[in-house]
Amino acid sequence: AAGVIQSPRHLIKEKRETATLKCYPIPRHDTVYWYQQGPGQDPQFLISFYEKMQSDKGSIPDRFSAQQFSDYHSELNMSSLELGDSALYFCASSLGPSGEETQYFGPGTRLLVL
Protein backbone atom coordinates (compact mmCIF):
# COMPACT_ATOMS: atom_id res chain seq x y z
CA ALA A 1 0.00 0.00 0.00
CA ALA A 2 1.13 3.54 -0.72
CA GLY A 3 2.56 5.41 2.23
CA VAL A 4 3.35 9.00 3.13
CA ILE A 5 6.30 10.32 1.15
CA GLN A 6 8.67 12.92 2.53
CA SER A 7 11.52 14.70 0.83
CA PRO A 8 14.32 15.21 1.27
CA ARG A 9 15.18 12.39 3.65
CA HIS A 10 18.30 14.13 4.89
CA LEU A 11 19.19 17.81 4.93
CA ILE A 12 22.20 19.71 6.20
CA LYS A 13 21.96 23.48 6.61
CA GLU A 14 23.96 26.26 8.19
CA LYS A 15 22.63 28.54 10.93
CA ARG A 16 20.39 31.33 9.65
CA GLU A 17 19.68 29.48 6.40
CA THR A 18 16.25 28.40 5.22
CA ALA A 19 14.88 24.92 4.55
CA THR A 20 11.78 23.53 2.87
CA LEU A 21 10.45 20.09 3.69
CA LYS A 22 7.86 18.40 1.51
CA CYS A 23 5.18 15.87 2.34
CA TYR A 24 2.98 13.84 -0.01
CA PRO A 25 0.07 12.21 1.86
CA ILE A 26 -1.36 8.76 1.29
CA PRO A 27 -3.71 8.88 -1.75
CA ARG A 28 -7.24 10.04 -0.77
CA HIS A 29 -5.99 11.46 2.53
CA ASP A 30 -6.96 15.12 2.88
CA THR A 31 -5.32 16.02 6.17
CA VAL A 32 -1.63 16.42 6.90
CA TYR A 33 0.21 16.96 10.16
CA TRP A 34 3.77 18.01 10.94
CA TYR A 35 5.76 16.82 13.95
CA GLN A 36 9.24 17.56 15.25
CA GLN A 37 11.19 14.94 17.22
CA GLY A 38 14.42 15.96 18.91
CA PRO A 39 17.01 13.40 20.07
CA GLY A 40 15.57 11.25 22.85
CA GLN A 41 12.29 13.17 22.78
CA ASP A 42 8.73 12.27 21.86
CA PRO A 43 7.25 13.77 18.68
CA GLN A 44 5.93 17.30 19.19
CA PHE A 45 2.97 18.42 17.10
CA LEU A 46 3.63 21.53 15.01
CA ILE A 47 0.65 22.18 12.73
CA SER A 48 -2.07 20.47 10.71
CA PHE A 49 -4.06 21.21 7.57
CA TYR A 50 -7.43 19.93 6.39
CA GLU A 51 -8.62 20.70 2.88
CA LYS A 52 -5.85 23.27 2.45
CA MET A 53 -6.86 25.22 5.56
CA GLN A 54 -4.90 25.32 8.81
CA SER A 55 -6.76 23.13 11.26
CA ASP A 56 -4.77 22.88 14.48
CA LYS A 57 -1.63 24.59 15.71
CA GLY A 58 0.87 23.25 18.18
CA SER A 59 4.32 24.38 19.20
CA ILE A 60 5.39 25.71 15.80
CA PRO A 61 7.94 28.54 16.04
CA ASP A 62 7.11 31.83 14.32
CA ARG A 63 10.13 31.23 12.06
CA PHE A 64 8.31 28.24 10.57
CA SER A 65 5.37 28.32 8.21
CA ALA A 66 3.49 25.66 6.33
CA GLN A 67 0.81 25.25 3.75
CA GLN A 68 -1.18 22.58 1.99
CA PHE A 69 -1.65 22.71 -1.76
CA SER A 70 -4.53 21.78 -4.06
CA ASP A 71 -3.09 18.28 -4.60
CA TYR A 72 -2.99 17.91 -0.77
CA HIS A 73 0.76 17.83 -0.52
CA SER A 74 2.24 20.08 2.14
CA GLU A 75 5.42 22.04 2.63
CA LEU A 76 7.05 23.15 5.87
CA ASN A 77 9.19 26.25 5.44
CA MET A 78 11.81 26.93 8.07
CA SER A 79 13.74 30.20 8.17
CA SER A 80 16.57 31.61 10.28
CA LEU A 81 17.54 28.08 11.25
CA GLU A 82 19.00 27.54 14.69
CA LEU A 83 21.14 24.72 16.06
CA GLY A 84 18.15 23.61 18.14
CA ASP A 85 16.12 22.98 15.00
CA SER A 86 18.20 19.88 14.35
CA ALA A 87 15.69 17.06 14.62
CA LEU A 88 13.62 14.50 12.78
CA TYR A 89 10.61 16.06 11.09
CA PHE A 90 7.69 13.76 10.44
CA CYS A 91 4.67 14.31 8.32
CA ALA A 92 1.54 12.26 8.91
CA SER A 93 -1.68 12.03 6.97
CA SER A 94 -5.25 10.93 7.65
CA LEU A 95 -8.69 10.94 6.07
CA GLY A 96 -9.62 13.93 8.18
CA PRO A 97 -12.50 14.85 10.44
CA SER A 98 -15.19 13.13 8.41
CA GLY A 99 -13.33 9.89 7.98
CA GLU A 100 -10.95 7.64 9.84
CA GLU A 101 -8.75 9.94 11.89
CA THR A 102 -5.85 7.57 12.33
CA GLN A 103 -2.60 9.30 11.45
CA TYR A 104 -0.03 7.43 9.40
CA PHE A 105 3.52 8.69 9.54
CA GLY A 106 6.03 9.19 6.77
CA PRO A 107 9.68 8.12 7.05
CA GLY A 108 10.78 11.58 8.20
CA THR A 109 13.34 14.17 7.18
CA ARG A 110 16.47 14.35 9.29
CA LEU A 111 17.58 17.97 9.52
CA LEU A 112 21.01 18.87 10.79
CA VAL A 113 21.82 22.54 11.39
CA LEU A 114 25.52 23.35 11.68
Partner 1 sequence: QKEVEQNSGPLSVPEGAIASLNCTYSDRGSQSFFWYRQYSGKSPELIMFIYSNGDKEDGRFTAQLNKASQYVSLLIRDSQPSDSATYLCAVTGGGADGLTFGKGTHLIIQP
User: Which residues of the chain form contacts with partner 1 (CB under 8 A)?
Assistant: 31, 33, 35, 41-50, 55-56, 58, 88, 90, 92, 94, 96-97, 101-108
Cα atoms in the Cβ-side hemisphere of radius 13 Å centred on 24: 8
Nearer to partner 1, 11 or 105 (CB): 105
Burial 86-98 (b: 16+ CB within 10 A, else e): bbbbbbbbbbbee
Nearer to partner 1, 14 or 71 (CB): 71
Minimum CB–partner distance for residue 110 and partner 1 (Å): 8
Minimum CB–partner distance for residue 113 and partner 1 (Å): 18
For residue 58, the SS3 value is coil
Distance CA 101, CA 52 (A): 17
Minimum CB–partner distance for residue 45 and partner 1 (Å): 3
Count of residues making up the chain:
114
Nearer to partner 1, 33 or 85 (CB): 33
Nearer to partner 1, 16 or 69 (CB): 69
Distance CA 36, CA 111 (A): 10
Minimum CB–partner distance for residue 86 and partner 1 (Å): 14
